[in-house]
Chain A
């Protein structure tokens, strides 16, 4: 079900924040992976992904999320997820994604933690 997905990016100091708005359940989700790859290739290695407005994640979405984790790790970057709904948090827990990424309640918490890393 290729429903709408809109990405927003915001640069906050040396951290890039990505907002995943809509459905992460089709190949359209690869645009998220592309922007993460774009960021890390440009040397912006600190990333926060805000899932506050993410409606649905399925197996295809999980594959995209795992791809991002892999790409950031490969470049030695730092990645954090924030604002997960209960359902998405549970999905990340059962798939083991939670064990690979730092997860924060709010974007502010994530920014504070990540900015401190040098």
Chain B
């Protein structure tokens, strides 16, 4: 298998593993089965043969599920400084990392008969509340944990934490013998919090992509927020807005298959490098179309996010309404975020410069209707200081304020005229 294809396939497997976990857990009845399922799914995702999940109640062991590890349960209880350590630690780590404190290492070494069996540790937490941890042995290929392994482990642990948390709430609610209506209310809250966990899972995956490209840290997240506001302004249904949001978060996932040295390159790209970069929407599509998302359009939005309405975009050169609306929205949000960002070789554009470029490219690169919605969002942000502005905070150069209103309004007028043509 070619390395690029192999990387894309591996990434697809990892996303699928996260989905196995999020879909598989609720189907298992007993909570212990949920933990066993989660452990299996994590072991499979990271290709590790041995591992365990431990949950605690007031620092004493509540549940222990293990696979391949023989764990001395008496030694599990967390005392003193280890309690402090886990209260402060939110992300997974490798015990092979020499910076890990000696007492933490000793604790994990003492748990299994063979020393140094535990390699990965991931604290299960919700905020500062500690529920337990996942511990895993060495990867089957003998490789040390890579950054990407730890990121995937964080994502999966994060989801498990929400499960443990919601189960605790259910147990507590049942114990309180509250009125039925109060329980129903609680359930509604839980469901919506789980839904947001699903988004968070997806966000964490996207953050990992952005991290690969040093110039675009946080890019997917910003594009997603802008796209969501545009979609809302265009009065799309909530399901469509959610699909566009998720697609924008994942639109660049195909870059996982692009070599890091190309993404980080400062000078101009060679023809071959350019074609590699231009291939990323197709790779994004390949990866996302295999994941059964609630909305099947998500993969298509990612595929077409570099298409232009005049047909001069890539990878297919389709035009106008052939391009799904979601993709047209993401295209603008994506380009805007890139325009205002500082790069080592140029300063990011200020408000006027970026608005000017977007308006000039409307009708060729961007859908004028989408540009109108974008300018409406920008206008309301500047005009009445919207509660959570998404566009203005990312303009790094120059002050943005009421003084820009006339220019935004004038631009809006120009684009309205283009869109009527």
Contact = CB atoms under 8 A, between A and B. Distances in A.
Interface in A44-72: 58-64, 66-67, 69-70
A36 to B, nearest CB: 13
Given A70-B50, A96-B140, A60 B10 contact: no
Contact of A61 (B6, B28, B44, B139): B44
A1 B23 contact: yes
B406 to A, nearest CB: 56
B141 A63 contact: no
A95 B50 CA distance: 16
Interface stretch (B33-41, B188-196, B209-217, B259-267): B33-41
Contacts of A66: 43-44, 47-49, 140
Interface in A18-58: 25-27, 58
B40 A90 contact: no
Given A58-B20, A67-B49, A94 B27 contact: no
The contact size tier of chain A is 20 to 34
Given A58-B17, A58-B20, A99 B141 contact: yes
Given A60-B24, A61-B44, A90 B49 contact: no
A86 to B, nearest CB: 12
B1 interface: yes
Contacts of B1: 90, 93-94
A94 B15 CA distance: 14
A67 B6 CA distance: 24
Nearest to A2: B27
Contact of B43 (A1, A63, A69): A63
Contacts of B44: 58-64, 66, 95
A78 interface: no
Given A59-B17, A97-B140, A27 B40 contact: yes
Interface residues of B, number: 31
Nearest to A96: B141
A5 interface: no
Contacts of A60: 20, 24, 37, 40-41, 44
Contacts of B33: 27
Interface string B337-380: 00000000000000000000000000000000000000000000
User: Could you say which of A60, A61, A66 has the most chain B C-beta atoms within 10 Å of its C-beta?
Assistant: A60
A63 B13 contact: no
B45 interface: yes
B68 A1 contact: no
A53 B378 CA distance: 57
Contacts of A25: 20
B41 A63 contact: yes
Contacts of B10: 94
23 contacts: A26-B37, A27-B36, A27-B40, A58-B16, A58-B17, A59-B16, A59-B17, A59-B21, A60-B24, A60-B37, A60-B44, A61-B44, A62-B47, A66-B140, A67-B67, A67-B68, A70-B140, A90-B1, A91-B13, A94-B6, A95-B47, A96-B139, A96-B140
Interface of B: 1, 6, 9-10, 13, 16-17, 20-21, 23-24, 27-28, 33, 36-37, 39-41, 43-45, 47-50, 67-68, 139-141
Given A63-B41, A70-B68, A95-B13, 11 more contacts: A1-B24, A26-B37, A58-B16, A58-B44, A59-B20, A59-B40, A60-B20, A60-B24, A66-B43, A94-B1, A94-B9
Interface of A: 1-2, 25-27, 58-64, 66-67, 69-70, 90-91, 93-97, 99-100
5 nearest A-B residue pairs (beta carbon):
A59-B44, A63-B44, A59-B17, A62-B44, A63-B43
